[in-house]
Amino acid sequence: MAGLEFKREERLKSKKVLGALFKGGNSYVAYPLRVVWAPIDLQEIPTATQSAQVAISVPKRFFKSAVDRNLLKRRIREAYRLNKPTFYQKLEVQQQPIALMLMYIAKEPLSYAEIEAGMLKMIRKFPGTKAPD
């Protein structure tokens, strides 16, 4: 299906943007995810052609095994990929690309269904957008 891929341009890799995201970004919790977001300045990052650039993090503090961390990151990435069209529709109102960091905050591994429920909650709670009249 078109539009459901998670392309290279959609991944947040710029250290400059990540630093700015944690320094002055907005955040909220949609369990089991903590969401940190900030607008992207297109003059600084010309590769930000998508509506959002996303980074995903699972803490080593709670999940010592890389296998466990990678499994959770794959689940988060898949939940984002499948629900991305809904999120992009909400972002169209802003006309401003954003940087987004999704951090897993649960202390135990959760199933895909629970992670997807958190992703849907993240999309519903996303601030800074107004529904069209």
- What ranges in 2-111 are assigned the alpha helix state H? 15-24, 66-91
pTM of structure: 0.88
Asked whether residue 84 is assigned to any structural domain, the reply reads: yes
Asked whether residue 29 is assigned to any structural domain, the reply reads: yes
Number of compact structural domains in the chain: 1
Asked whether residue 53 is assigned to any structural domain, the reply reads: yes
Element holding 117 (H helix, E strand): helix 112-125
Where does the pLDDT of residue 43 fall: very low under 50, low under 70, confident under 90, or very high at 90 and above?
low
Range of the structural domain that residue 99 is part of = 8-125
Asked whether residue 99 is assigned to any structural domain, the reply reads: yes
Query: What does the pLDDT read at residue 80?
Result: 97
Q: How far apart are CA 58 and CA 92, in angstroms?
A: 28
Asked whether residue 130 is assigned to any structural domain, the reply reads: no
Query: What does the pLDDT read at residue 41?
Result: 77
Asked whether residue 132 is assigned to any structural domain, the reply reads: no
| CATH number assigned to the domain comprising residue 64 | 3.30.230.10
Where does the pLDDT of residue 132 fall: very low under 50, low under 70, confident under 90, or very high at 90 and above?
very low
Question: What tokens does 79 get?
Answer: 């939940």
Where does the pLDDT of residue 2 fall: very low under 50, low under 70, confident under 90, or very high at 90 and above?
low
